[in-house]
């Protein structure tokens, strides 16, 4: 009964939203009104009408036997995971931050430590309802009349339409995840071992279900290997990194660890990886006073929004004579055989630390995702780096980001588009499926009511 009621509520929301779009004059641009965003590119102000999708948040139903869930597009992974864990299940890939939405992770890509075996979030989608730019609500599957939209939706960032409902695959979980933090002093050795682990799905005879790595500097790197665990190992108790403990520091302090499955999935959210240090949240004196419920990524987003509005830190740095700063906030994918080369280049030319590294491989080699083509036979490494770099005299804003773009391309990689990009338009479309995108745009948004992918990613429209 509850699932039937939830589906009826969803259908009513769809009708309301379609009515909102129909009421906007033809040819007029539109945007979404929503509660959360995990984009690191500031969009230009716009007076375009906004479609209210804030109530498309919630799990419609879970089929425990089929291991699937019908989920509304604005459902955060925090809410989705809570619903599925109650049935001993979880999405195949759970991105690191609680307020990332399912629709956002599919249209904007996502990744986590299961991606070496499960790919990216869009690869677990079975079907989705999409509100297209021309006002239709279509159900796209891998093999129906909207299959081209299904395969072109990932990496489209809402420029073709908005996912209102998605049916996704789930996988069974255990109560605990056991971790091994394997230290390395060489990037080449770490990525060689990572490749072997991803291929064998084991290390030193122990199964491996999760893989990621953290580099603190050129000679201090840790490969973290996680294994599903049904019972706590004798004499151990689970760690808690939601209060005074800081997860990424534990990599340097211990070789093994155990977390509850929920705490494992959100191990990075409490301190936004390591970025909470910019707000003083890792200073024990401040952390003791910081309400535990506010140690989470969306709190730091709000603090960034305040800084973007008032520029308090920027003005302070200017008074102190500090060099101007360039934000270098990016995630890039590089073939694992070139990962050490990229890591060494990045340490030399950019110098941000720590850096997160997470392997991924396409889950289904037969599928093609037109706007973010990867070689299905290749394991890639996602490098995540999120900080600022000094701009030396003569360097303009974007200098270091352009260097990253060029090096990633030289190594046969791809760059995610959630942050700033600097590609020339023709070159951009050569990298991100221009011909396929043009066909989809003509089919599903012929009046260009939704900003194009290039306008969003590079022009910040």
Q: What was the pLDDT predicted at 51?
A: 87
Angle among Cα 254, 255, 258 to the nearest 5 degrees reads: 85
Q: What was the pLDDT predicted at 401?
A: 98
Which helix (H) or strand (E) segment holds residue 91: the answer is strand 89-91
Do residues 357 and 382 make contact, with C-beta atoms less than 8 angstroms apart?
Answer: yes
Which helix (H) or strand (E) segment holds residue 443: the answer is helix 434-444
Cα separation, 11 vs 104, in Å, equals 20
**DSSP secondary structure string for all residues of 332-358:** EEEEGGGHHHHHHHHHHHT--SSEEEE
Q: What are phi and psi for residue 72, nearest 5 degrees?
A: -75, 150
Q: What was the pLDDT predicted at 30?
A: 84
First CA to last CA distance, the chain: 43
Q: How many residues does the chain have?
A: 461
Query: What b/e sequence results for 81-115 when a residue is b if at least 16 CB atoms lie within 10 Å of its CB, and e otherwise?
Result: bebbbeeebbbbbbbbbbbbbbbbbbbbbbbbbbb
Domains of the chain, start order: 2-173 (3.30.465.10)
Q: What was the pLDDT predicted at 32?
A: 78
Cα separation, 39 vs 54, in Å, equals 17
Does pTM top 0.75 for this prediction? yes
Do residues 112 and 96 make contact, with C-beta atoms less than 8 angstroms apart?
Answer: yes
Cα separation, 112 vs 34, in Å, equals 24
Per-position pLDDT tens, the chain of length 461: 567 888 999 999 999 998 888 888 887 888 877 776 666 666 666 777 788 888 999 999 999 999 999 999 999 999 999 999 999 999 999 999 999 999 999 999 999 999 999 999 999 999 999 999 999 999 999 999 999 999 999 999 999 999 999 999 999 999 999 999 999 999 999 999 999 999 999 999 999 999 999 999 989 999 999 999 999 988 889 999 999 999 999 999 999 999 999 999 999 999 999 999 999 999 999 999 999 999 999 999 899 888 888 887 888 888 888 999 999 999 999 999 999 999 999 999 999 999 999 999 999 999 999 999 999 999 999 999 999 999 999 999 999 999 999 999 999 999 999 999 999 999 999 999 999 999 999 999 999 999 999 999 999 87
């Amino acid at each position: 009964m509850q699932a039937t009621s939830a589906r009826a509520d969803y259908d009513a929301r769809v009708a309301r939203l379609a009515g909102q779009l129909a009421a906007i004059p033809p040819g007029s641009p539109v945007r979404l009104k929503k509660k959360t965003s995990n984009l690191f590119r500031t969009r230009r102000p716009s007076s375009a009408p906004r479609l209210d999708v804030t109530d498309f948040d919630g799990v419609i139903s879970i089929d425990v036997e089929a291991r699937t869930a019908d989920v509304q597009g604005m459902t955060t992974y925090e809410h989705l995971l809570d619903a599925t864990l109650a049935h001993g299940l979880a999405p195949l890939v759970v991105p690191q931050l609680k307020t990332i939405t399912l629709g956002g992770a599919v249209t904007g890509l996502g990744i986590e430590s299961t991606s070496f075996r499960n790919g990216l979030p869009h690869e677990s989608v079975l079907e989705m309802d999409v509100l297209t730019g021309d006002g239709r609500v279509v159900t796209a599957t891998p093999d129906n009349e909207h299959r081209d939209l299904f395969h072109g939706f990932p990496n489209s960032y809402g420029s073709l339409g908005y996912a209102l409902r998605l049916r996704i695959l789930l996988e069974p979980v255990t109560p605990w995840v056991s971790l091994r933090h394997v230290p390395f002093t060489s990037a080449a050795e770490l990525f060689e071992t990572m490749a072997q682990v991803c291929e064998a799905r084991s290390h030193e005879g122990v199964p491996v279900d999760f893989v990621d790595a953290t580099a603190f500097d050129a000679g201090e790197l840790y490969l973290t290997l996680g294994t599903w665990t049904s019972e706590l190992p004798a004499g151990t108790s689970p760690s808690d990194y939601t209060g005074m403990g800081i997860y990424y520091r534990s990599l340097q302090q211990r070789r093994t660890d155990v977390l509850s499955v929920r705490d494992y999935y959100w191990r990075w959210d409490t301190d936004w990886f390591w970025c909470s240090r910019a707000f003083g949240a890792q200073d024990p004196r401040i952390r003791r006073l910081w309400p535990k419920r506010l140690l989470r990524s969306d709190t730091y987003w709000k603090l960034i929004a305040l800084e973007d509005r008032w520029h308090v830190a920027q003005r302070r740095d200017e008074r102190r004579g500090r060099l101007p700063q360039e934000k270098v906030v990016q995630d890039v994918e590089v073939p694992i055989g070139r990962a050490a080369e990229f890591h060494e280049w990045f340490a030399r030319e950019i110098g941000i630390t720590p850096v997160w590294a997470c392997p991924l491989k396409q889950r289904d080699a037969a599928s093609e995702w037109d706007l973010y083509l990867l070689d299905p036979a290749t394991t890639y490494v996602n490098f995540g780096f999120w900080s600022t770099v000094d701009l030396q005299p003569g360097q303009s804003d974007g200098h270091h980001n352009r260097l990253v773009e060029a090096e990633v391309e030289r190594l046969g990689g791809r760059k995610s588009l959630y942050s700033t990009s600097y590609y020339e338009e023709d070159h951009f479309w050569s990298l991100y499926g221009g011909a396929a995108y043009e066909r989809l745009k003509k089919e599903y948004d012929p009046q260009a009511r939704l900003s194009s992918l290039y306008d969003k990613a590079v022009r910040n429209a």
